[in-house]
């Protein structure tokens, strides 16, 4: 079995994912990209390339043919369904192809015929209309990864760049729900997974974690909220007891300047925007979404479907290219 190839899922066909895959292949030599294949409908990708005026030959392949085909054409592992989509016009009828692409990619990495997967953006509201029953992309991947396993996977989202790596402990929930959802056990579990994956996948022998406080000034000794002392500080103690190098809770407003970033390998934030605002400010075009806690490597560009610019050929491929390179690094390609 071939261990060197990466798989790119199709993503929402009405979004920018398909054209970014084409653009990444066009830049394969300039950016020194490893061989990859897209799980999609070859005829659909040919139409996308033609509509954009791009000279991208597309070839239908089997897994073992990817490395040989990649230098001369974009390899595509065909889906069982055809794909027909108009740029910028999401359609629930495409849900079947989006889901099949993800399922095929997970199956391939699970069985060892591919080294890692890179997922192109999906639109959850479109999939919901098509009967999708999972809260999001990551939860679907975790469910697929957990099939046949005694323990369910606990996925952790990390946004990674060369300058900064951040992990939101709570993710896609309303800000008002964060104090209730945030628990010491959740922080400990998240920190444990992050430390383990930094060691095992990123090769950092002694990972250093920094935990942000929830409230301004990390609570100011209770003057601005008690969650930092009641919830976060005990998690810090528990992680230290496990031998993990961790600091916190720290005031979030002073955690992300250059000198502060030099003191840790990953920052754990307590809610979505506390994590994503700094990394999207520092590395908007290069940041990569990495899912930790899965039994395989999954990365994704740190942007959405961008329906508003789909089909115009102006979407930047930097984040997808960074995701491909990181997947290859973590997957050992």
Q: What is the pLDDT of residues 289-321, one digit of tens each?
A: 999 999 999 999 988 999 999 999 999 999 999
Q: Do the domains 6-153+296-331 and 163-280 sit in the same CATH topology, yes or no?
A: yes
CATH number of 6-153+296-331: 3.40.718.10
Q: Is 125 annotated as a binding residue?
A: no
Whole-angstrom CA distances from 174 to 171, 179, 217, 274 are 9, 10, 22, 13
Q: Is 120 annotated as a binding residue?
A: no
Q: Is 226 annotated as a binding residue?
A: no
CB burial readout 134-170, b (16+ within 10 A) else e: bebbbebbbebbbeeeeeebebbbbbbbeebbbbbbb
* CB-CB contact of 294 with 331 (8 Å): no
Name the superfamily (CATH) of residues 163-280. Answer: Isopropylmalate Dehydrogenase (3.40.718.10)
State yes or no: pLDDT of 3 exceeds 70. Answer: no
Distance in angstroms (rounded) separating the CA atoms of residues 300 and 8: 9
Confidence of residue 2 (pLDDT cuts 50, 70, 90): very low
Q: Is 137 annotated as a binding residue?
A: yes
Confidence of residue 150 (pLDDT cuts 50, 70, 90): low
Domain extents in the chain: 6-153+296-331, 163-280
Q: Is 217 annotated as a binding residue?
A: yes
Tell me whether residue 64 is exposed, middle or buried, using C-beta atoms within 10 angstroms of its C-beta: 0 to 12, 13 to 18, 19 or more.
exposed
Q: Is 172 annotated as a binding residue?
A: yes
Among 40-44, 108-112, 129-133, the range with the most confident prediction by mean pLDDT is: 40-44
Distance in angstroms (rounded) separating the CA atoms of residues 175 and 215: 12
315 vs 4, which has greater pLDDT? 315
Q: Is 289 annotated as a binding residue?
A: yes
Q: Is 72 annotated as a binding residue?
A: no
């Amino acid at each position: 079995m071939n261990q060197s190839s990466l798989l790119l899922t199709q993503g929402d066909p009405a979004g920018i994912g398909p054209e970014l895959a084409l653009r990444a292949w066009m830049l394969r030599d300039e950016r020194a990209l490893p061989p990859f294949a897209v799980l999609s409908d070859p005829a659909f990708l040919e139409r996308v390339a033609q509509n954009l005026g791009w000279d991208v030959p597309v070839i239908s392949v089997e897994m073992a043919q990817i490395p040989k085909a990649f230098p001369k054409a974009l390899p595509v592992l065909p889906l069982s369904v055809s794909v027909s989509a108009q740029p910028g016009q999401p359609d629930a009828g495409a849900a079947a192809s989006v889901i099949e692409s993800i399922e095929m990619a997970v199956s391939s990495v699970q069985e060892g015929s591919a080294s890692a997967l890179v997922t192109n953006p999906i639109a959850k509201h479109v999939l919901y209309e098509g009967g999708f029953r999972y809260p999001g992309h990551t939860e679907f991947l975790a469910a697929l990864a957990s099939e046949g396993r005694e323990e369910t996977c606990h996925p952790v989202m990390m946004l990674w760049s060369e300058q900064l790596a951040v992990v939101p402990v709570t993710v896609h929930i309303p800000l008002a729900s964060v104090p209730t959802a945030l628990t010491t056990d959740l922080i400990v579990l998240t920190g444990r997974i992050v430390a383990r994956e930094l060691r095992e996948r990123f090769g950092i022998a002694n990972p250093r974690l920094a935990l942000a406080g929830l409230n301004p000034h990390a609570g100011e000794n209770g003057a601005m909220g008690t969650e930092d002392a009641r919830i976060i500080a005990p998690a810090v103690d528990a992680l230290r007891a496990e031998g993990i190098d961790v600091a916190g809770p720290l005031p979030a407003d002073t955690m992300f300047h250059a000198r502060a970033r030099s003191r840790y390998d990953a920052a754990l934030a307590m809610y979505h925007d506390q994590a994503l605002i700094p990394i999207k400010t520092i590395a908007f075009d290069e940041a990569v979404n990495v899912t930790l806690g899965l039994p395989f490597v999954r990365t994704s560009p740190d942007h959405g479907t961008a329906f508003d610019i789909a089909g115009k050929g102006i979407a930047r491929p930097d984040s997808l290219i960074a995701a491909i390179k990181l997947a290859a690094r973590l997957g050992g390609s």
